[in-house]
Amino acid sequence: MNAIIAGLLCGCAGKSGNAVVATETVSEQLPAAKVLPFNADSAYCLIERQLDFGYRVPGTESHDRCGEWLAAELAARGADTVIVQRGEVTAWNGDRLPIANIMGRWNPEAADRVLLLAHWDSRPWADRETDAVKCDQPIPGANDGASGVAVLLELARNLKAAGIEKGIDILLVDAEDYGTPEHASVWSEESEDTWCLGTQYWLENMPEFKGRTGKPAFAILLDMVGGYNAKFHREYFSNRLASKVVDKVWSAAAQAGHGDRFVNADGSPVTDDHVYLLKAGIPAIDIIECNNAETGTFNPTWHTHADGIGAIDRATLGAVGETVAQVLVNP
């Protein structure tokens, strides 16, 4: 939202005897509010570009090529520093996964920092498919993964020009979606920690983010932010453990004209990357679509082969992107 506020103090002419005394007219122009533009069409094209690489499943060539492109894009969009953290994690089924967490940093010397993140991998199984034959095939991951990445890349394009003084870190985490399938015989309550492997690895191996001075003031996770007519409730863990950040973001959504999308009501609990940030002492929230706040029902395309480019709504991308932009330019 572009708002320019001008203050004008006008003196009034007065009379004193035969002399006319005119007060001086003073005009004071306040600094223009910072603006961070967001183009939903550009974000849509960035989703298409990710899908062009193929399935972004850790350990595959298409995954590696996409990761190289993402690192190059962050650099091309003005990041002062790009860090690629490579490692290896163990999946629920014993698979050893080579992963890459990719981070671009703006104003790296700034003490006041905001962390924005999304996962860039795609799920290797379509375990929500009704056709058993298709369940073992990877999904495109247009909404579940690529949408959040696209919004962050589009925001990155104008960060330098916006003149934002705070430090901003954009983190694209890997191996979020390799978690235990619900139909797997080994599934249990402990299976929650088989998700978000990239974020867990990042937190364990980035000591500069563990100290009091290194932690961001808050973090915003974007996950499944491109579905048609998507609504975003105040996710349970976010609202319980980082309510001030939720208030900030939902207020920014209203300022940006998207209060209808960001429903000011409680949502269901979601195990996602933000949970591990919260455990590490970073106030973090999850902007994630939830069709039913009580049951935690996600978009119908979730973990199915229908999660392709046809599942993406430019209007939803715009609502989320403009909301996060509003958060970043607010003092």
Tell me how crowded residue 83 is: count the other CB atoms within 10 A of its CB. Answer: 16
Q: Alpha-carbon distance 310 to 86, whole Å? A: 32
- 174 is a domain residue: yes
- pTM score over 0.75: yes
Q: Alpha-carbon distance 210 to 208, whole Å? A: 6
Residue 87: phi and psi, rounded to 5, are: -165, -170
206-264, pLDDT tens digit by residue?
866 655 556 899 999 999 999 999 999 999 999 999 999 999 999 999 999 999 999 99
- 195 is a domain residue: yes
Instruction: Please tell me the predicted confidence (pLDDT) of residue 34.
Output: 83
3-class state of residue 39 by DSSP? coil
Task: Choose the weakest-confidence range: 177-186, 190-199, 271-280.
Answer: 177-186
Q: To which residue do tokens 């403009």 refer?
A: 322
Residue 323 pLDDT class (50, 70, 90 cuts): very high
- 45 is a domain residue: yes
**Token representation of residue 289:** 């679509």
Q: Which domain holds residue 74?
A: 34-329
Domain tally for the chain? 1
160-176, pLDDT tens digit by residue?
999 999 999 999 999 99
The mean pLDDT value for 80-100 works out to: 96
- 304 is a domain residue: yes
- 254 is a domain residue: yes
Residue 95 pLDDT class (50, 70, 90 cuts): very high
Instruction: Please tell me the predicted confidence (pLDDT) of residue 157.
Output: 97
- 51 is a domain residue: yes
Q: Whole-number mean pLDDT of the chain?
A: 88
- 161 is a domain residue: yes
Question: In this structure, what CATH number is given to the domain that contains residue 281?
Answer: 3.40.630.10
In angstroms, what CA-CA distances link 265 with 136, 235, 268, 318? 36, 9, 10, 21
Cβ–Cβ < 8 Å for 220, 287 = yes
- 151 is a domain residue: yes
**Token representation of residue 108:** 């790296």
Tell me how crowded residue 86 is: count the other CB atoms within 10 A of its CB. Answer: 12
19-63, pLDDT tens digit by residue?
444 444 444 555 567 899 999 999 999 999 999 999 999 999 999
